[in-house]
Chains A and B, each alone.
Chain A
């Protein structure tokens, strides 16, 4: 097959050498195609423009969709919308020289509001959903709400593999419970102790009834905050990232927000906001 293709290519080259006008025509056509591609790319002279970015820069506004029913991520208070997600949105808006105008809506209306242009972005505990990938651009996660190991500060455990022959406490029927069951098949001996609530699972670690607890990050952070004898693992065992959603056609805005979020991660602002609320 390769030989046949090579044969065809060589024949074509020989033919072009004997017909230089066609070769020139080919080069011109290729040049035109490249030029066409360059001038019609998103943002180029004749390409699609990001009107949302232009509007936000001229008016200095950024419309943000939030479902304010989930403290401490977002909550509707007499003083306005407060919470971790509201603060992240405001900080992102500040970094792109705009002001965030938070639009309150029910969770089921978030994507519709984004699609119809009611808001420029949505930050509301969304997860990457393949069903929306055709028109939605997702940022990198701003928060990992997955399942994380909580262990005694004096005997830290960061990896499920370190629990072989030990006991892990989990919240009954949670993602941590299901993950622990999977790990019990991988390890030689893993005892799973189930509790109705995540706090009960972490309490079992404090009392020595379990070597570690595998619970969701939000519960873990709220519990460990008051208990210095416990610590969280560096990374989640079962990740569950919350992401910001934007319209793909707003390519410039998406790019700027990606950069702003990356900068917030690099300079520690994102962690500061998370620590403020959790």
Chain B
């Protein structure tokens, strides 16, 4: 090597030029972002199942990535569930009064149909324009006053008309017997009945063949004067007393087992799976026994850190027994398990342990068990 060579040498100059070019390239490429994954709809699928009552409540409301919507629904189909319940919030569609943006429901229904799934649409929440201005009163998304019941009915009409022939069942509002679902106000069965009546008429105007599901009451034993809610049984009685009989085609029921096996005897003072029979008795008592019931939320949790949960094996056994029980009830339609998957397990431990698959699509043993039951395979988790 020539130690007297001048510095910087050609080698160093070349290196400096190369580094400069790389820096320029990095600056140019920095704002360029990778394209979102392209989602191909794929060929239409059909659900293979031997148990048409098997249904699951999905939660695609806040799922922003389309491939995850598709993956969720394909896993539902592979599990052998022919029906899903999915929530379509009113504020997502009618963010500004009279301006409907159907992008969100269109996308979910496109994928659900492609997987061969039947969708029960749960409709609810109130957009900002339908609530008092925040300077007057701070309200939640579930706060809907009587003067905007018509606006909600308009949305229901628009929804059922748009998806006529594609969505055959809609649920009007969610758990109106809980204060938290009624704008953090005292619950009001009569007001809910008025809302239901308006929504019922509007839904049938939009699609005369639609089945309107009323109720979707939370299973609770709260007394009538409780600030947090009202017993679902009493709430339903007061709905009938307010004239709700003609305002729905079927009753949506939420029934959870908590620590009780599904066979436990129904008791108004206990929240267990067969509480649905008490609601059925109310329907019959008010001469509405011809209407069916759809269980749109149910299930058991196997959260190891919750005193109202069961062990994983019990969860499987109870869930499969509940499906068999529903089959034996002539008045019951689907049994929809809460919840298939949530977008992120981190911030909602309760739902994470109700879910059948994890946020990252890892199937839990309960998923395998329901799949085997629905598709007529040997149950992989049997004692």
**A binding-site residues for B, Cβ under 8 Å:** 4, 7-8, 10-12, 14-15, 18, 67, 69-71, 73, 107-108, 111, 125, 129, 131-132, 145, 171-174, 177-178, 194-198, 216
Q: Given A69-B305, A172-B381, is A11 in contact with B311 using a C-beta cutoff of 8 Å? A: no
Question: Please, how many angstroms separate the alpha-carbon atoms of A67 and B350 in the complex?
Answer: 13
Least CB distance from A67 to B in Å reads: 7
Q: Which of A129, A132, A174 has the most CB of B within 10 A?
A: A174
Kindly list chain B residues whose C-beta atoms are within 8 Å of the C-beta of A195: 313, 383
Q: List 30 A-B contacts (CB under 8 A).
A: A8-B11, A8-B12, A8-B15, A12-B7, A15-B8, A18-B7, A67-B305, A69-B305, A69-B306, A69-B307, A70-B306, A70-B307, A71-B307, A108-B347, A108-B348, A108-B350, A132-B346, A145-B304, A171-B312, A171-B313, A172-B311, A172-B313, A173-B315, A194-B381, A195-B313, A196-B313, A196-B317, A197-B311, A197-B313, A197-B314
The answer, yes or no, to whether B369 is at the interface (CB within 8 Å) is yes
Kindly list chain A residues whose C-beta atoms are within 8 Å of the C-beta of B11: 4, 7-8, 11
**Which residue of B is nearest A170, CB measured?**
B313
Question: Please, how many angstroms separate the alpha-carbon atoms of A44 and B267 in the complex?
Answer: 66
Q: Check B365–A178 contact: CB distance below 8 A.
A: yes
Kindly list chain A residues whose C-beta atoms are within 8 Å of the C-beta of B366: 173
Q: Mark B309-326, 1 if CB is under 8 A from A, else 0.
A: 001111111000000000
Q: Check A172–B5 contact: CB distance below 8 A.
A: no
Q: Check B7–A177 contact: CB distance below 8 A.
A: no
Q: Check B313–A10 contact: CB distance below 8 A.
A: no
Q: How many residues of B contact A (CB 8 A)?
A: 31
Question: Please, how many angstroms separate the alpha-carbon atoms of A10 and B2 in the complex?
Answer: 11
Q: Check A10–B346 contact: CB distance below 8 A.
A: no
Question: Please, how many angstroms separate the alpha-carbon atoms of A70 and B306 in the complex?
Answer: 6
Question: Please, how many angstroms separate the alpha-carbon atoms of A18 and B3 in the complex?
Answer: 11
Q: Check B312–A172 contact: CB distance below 8 A.
A: yes
Kindly list chain B residues whose C-beta atoms are within 8 Å of the C-beta of A10: 1, 3
CB contact list, B1-31 vs A, under 8 A: 1, 3, 5, 7-9, 11-12, 15
Question: Please, how many angstroms separate the alpha-carbon atoms of A90 and B301 in the complex?
Answer: 32
Which single member of A8, A14, A18, A174 contacts B311 (CB below 8 Å)? A174
Least CB distance from B12 to A in Å reads: 6
Least CB distance from A173 to B in Å reads: 4
Least CB distance from B377 to A in Å reads: 16
Q: Check A194–B313 contact: CB distance below 8 A.
A: yes
Kindly list chain B residues whose C-beta atoms are within 8 Å of the C-beta of A18: 7
Kindly list chain B residues whose C-beta atoms are within 8 Å of the C-beta of A111: 346
